[in-house]
Each structure stands twice: as C-alpha cells, then as structure tokens.
Amino acid sequence: MSSPMGSPAPPAAGRAWAIVAAAGSGERLGCREPKAFHPVAGVPMLERVLDVVSRVALDGIVVVVPAGWEESARASVGRRFARAVVVAGGASRRESVRLGLGAVAEDAEAVVVHDASRPLVSPDLIERALAALAGASGAVCAVPVVDTLKRVEGDRIAGTVPREWLWRAQTPQAFRAAALREAHARAAAEGIEATDDSALVERCGEPVVVVQGEERNMKITTAADLALAEALLGPREFGGAAGGLA
C-alpha cells in the first residue's frame, strides 16, 4: 500500500483514512476560540493531534472544524498534510463525523475517528485500533472502570453498580468504512444522536471489539482537564521539539 503521508507501518485494515472531529465549541472549557484551536502547553489541540496522526500510515485525513474556521485549519493542517481535507462540521458530533465521512475516499476500507479533544493520543493506539479490525467491524479504545460506582438520587445513594463489565470509551475508534457509512446514514435518517460512533455501529448489530486504551489519552473538557493535560505533557513532547512546529 502506498502512503501519501509518507509514514511508517501500513495498517492491517487496508486503505485507511482518519477523521479528526474538531468542530466542538469548547463552551465548558470557557475559551473564546473553538476548543480544538485552544493551546495545550503552547500548541493548539488540533495541531497536537495532527502531529500524532502524521506518524501513522494513512491514505488520507479529513479534519472537521466549526464553520468559518476552515481557513485557519487549512493553514495548520497544510504544514503536515498537503492532501488533507478540511470540512465544516455540524451542530452535533454525530453530524460532524457524518459530514467528515462525506469527504473520505470511496475506496477507503477503514476509517479511524479521533476527537481533537484528546491530544495526548499516541500513534501506537491508533495503529492498534486499526489492527483490531482484522476480526470485527469496529474497534473501540477503552479503559476499565476502576472506581466503585454509585447510583445517586438527590443526595442519597440508591445503589452500587457492579463495575466488572464497565469500560470508559475513548477515541480513537476504528471501523470498516462500509459499516461506519451505513451506521451514520441510518442514524441521520432516524434522527439518532450518540456521543460516539461505536454506539451507532453497535445499534446496526455489527461486531465491535474493545482495544485496551491509555489512561493518558484523557479528554479535555474543563479547565481542570487542561491543567492536568499540561502537567502530563513534558516540555519536549511536540514533534520531538519544544515550543512549536519543527
């Protein structure tokens, strides 16, 4: 397989594309710009994610940003992916990914979806998600729940929920392209929203497997998350050089 991204190992899943969902507003973070454009230790989340994605062998990438932010995104994306496609997202994450899928090449066999709000993702995690497609229609990175879970009504504990089967889903999530397209088409037609793509593929009855995720691959939602992510990032952790793009 040729890789226009000029990256190392080819994925096991055939022609693979990535969709980076970056069209959220970031209201809960309290930033003026869309969240994906907000810096984490000096580098915008979207650039951090693209830096990681650029180390995975992929045939193409689609970056979904809020309407009106396409040009800013093209400026930073173009530095790493001359052939990346930037499209405007929608009102929900589900709609943004559906719009991104519309820009994925027809001959793509696998699509890995990643949220820009998880900039501490690793190339290895993306590759493991794609590799897990060998035996399934979808592969979801997730980590087991370690806390004891309580069901709470008002201020009263109404019960303790067994945690042995519970995992916290992350992105990246990799899918057979046909299964993801079908799942999104059905969800759009039926007006179904979901907080991840796996839920849409699952409801079509397709087999989805879990891939051991990384605790470090945290999601940045609040200012406290941002502070934690910055603490986790070492000074050298961007493109092998401190302080910005090489």
Residues binding ligand C5P (CB under 6 A): 21-24, 35-36, 64, 89-93, 96, 115-117, 221
Least CB distance to ligand C5P at residue 112 (A): 14
As separate numbers, helices (DSSP H) first and strands (DSSP E) second, the chain gives 7, 11
Which residue's Cβ has the minimum distance to ligand C5P?
Answer: 24
| Minimum separation from the CB atom of position 92 to ligand C5P (A) | 5
CA distance 202 to 173: 12
Return d(Cα 220, Cα 43) in angstroms, integer: 14
Rounded-to-10 torsion of CA 12, 117, 171, 203: -130
The least CB distance from residue 183 to ligand C5P, in Å, is 16
The half-sphere exposure of 143 on its side-chain side, counting CA atoms within 13 A, is 13
Q: Which is nearer to ligand C5P, 10 or 100 (CB)?
A: 100
Closest separation in Å from C-beta 64 to ligand C5P: 5
DSSP codes joined into one string, 39-62: EETTEEHHHHHHHHHTTS--SEEE
Q: Given the complex with ligand C5P, which of 23 and 201 has the nearer CB atom? A: 23
CB of 63 to ligand C5P, least distance (A): 10
Q: Which is nearer to ligand C5P, 36 or 41 (CB)?
A: 36
Nearer to ligand C5P, 10 or 20 (CB): 20
Q: Which residues make beta-bridge pairs with 65?
A: 88
Task: Give the number of other Cβ atoms within 10 Å of residue 10's Cβ.
Answer: 18
Nearest residue (CB) to ligand C5P, 72 versus 221: 221
